Amino acid sequence: MPAQHLNIKWLNALNAKRVVLASSSPRRKDILSNLGVNYIVVPSTFPETLDKSLFSHPSEYVKENARQKALEVYERLKTAGDTPDLVIGADTVVAHDSQILEKPNSEQHAINMLASLSGSTHMVYTGITLIAPPSDGTGEPRILIDVEGTEVKMQNLSEELIKAYVETKEPMDKAGAYGYQTTGGLLVKGINGCSWNVIGLPASKLFFMLEQFTRQE
């Protein structure tokens, strides 16, 4: 958390409202806190079982997942008579050689993923959806959707390093089998784009989306 929040009119107006983050990821919570946004967490129960083959590109897949996650939380709270002022939904995947990599399902799977990423470049996509009640109180909610892509270049990883990294268990709950914000950061030679996006939320893009969405109201 920063020592002091940004004193900006639209952000103060947003912080007087009920903002919901539809994700329980500790990394996403940290990033949203750093932006100076006050929020509560209501994790989405959307199952993430969309058929990837129906999407022309990984960026379309994460946008739809982010939309469904945010919508599920918005509708659930609305039905409970507790409509939030804003819901933020996000979804992140790793794309490599036209394959979408999600969380590994075993240590061997994590080793294979990291071996395939070694010495090459992959993309990380995060879809973001903002949902708010309609301005006039009736009809469909207001929705803003965007996506950020970041290129990640991996070091040449030795078998020894991959095995030792997987043994730390860090890869097991991470898309692509590495966590950029902790030990996994050492596996990455460099990135091109927003590095917060690799951790789960593109900080700067989200900030300017929130400004646009709050001012439009």
Catalytic residue positions, numbered = 91
Q: Which stretch binds a copy of itself (CB under 8 A): 45-53, 129-137, 138-146, 185-193?
A: 185-193
Alpha-carbon distance of 193 to 121, in angstroms, equals 13
Q: Which stretch binds a copy of itself (CB under 8 A): 20-28, 40-48, 66-74, 153-161?
A: 153-161
For a copy of itself, the binding residue among 207, 209, 213, 214 (CB under 8 A) is 207
Neighbours of 164 (CB within 10 A): 11
Nearest alpha carbon to residue 196 among 25, 7, 18, 27: 27
For a copy of itself, the binding residue among 124, 130, 177, 194 (CB under 8 A) is 194
Nearest alpha carbon to residue 19 among 46, 41, 45: 41
Q: Is 115 in the site for a copy of itself (CB under 8 A)?
A: no
Q: Quick one: CA dihedral 141, 203, 200, 115, positive or negative? A: positive
For a copy of itself, the binding residue among 23, 25, 129, 150 (CB under 8 A) is 150
Q: Is 16 in the site for a copy of itself (CB under 8 A)?
A: no
> Does residue 216 sit in helix, strand or coil?
helix
Closest to a copy of itself by CB, 135 vs 204, is: 204
Residue 105 buriedness (CB in 10 A; 0-12 / 13-18 / 19+): exposed
Helix residue ranges per DSSP H, 16-152: 26-34, 58-79, 107-117
For a copy of itself, the binding residue among 52, 57, 169, 215 (CB under 8 A) is 169
Contact 95, 104 (CB under 8 A): no
Q: Is 200 in the site for a copy of itself (CB under 8 A)?
A: no
Q: Is 103 in the site for a copy of itself (CB under 8 A)?
A: no
User: Judged by CB under 8 A, how many residues of this single chain contact a copy of itself?
Assistant: 40
Beta-ladder partners of 41: 21
Beta-sheet pairing, 86-96 with 121-132: antiparallel
Two tokens, residue 203: 């900080």
For a copy of itself, the binding residue among 165, 174, 176, 213 (CB under 8 A) is 165
Closest to a copy of itself by CB, 133 vs 200, is: 200
Q: Which stretch binds a copy of itself (CB under 8 A): 44-52, 64-72, 74-82, 155-163?
A: 155-163
Q: What is the contact surface with a copy of itself in residues (CB under 8 A)?
A: 2-9, 31, 34-36, 150, 155, 160-161, 164-165, 167-170, 182-183, 185-196, 203-204, 207-208
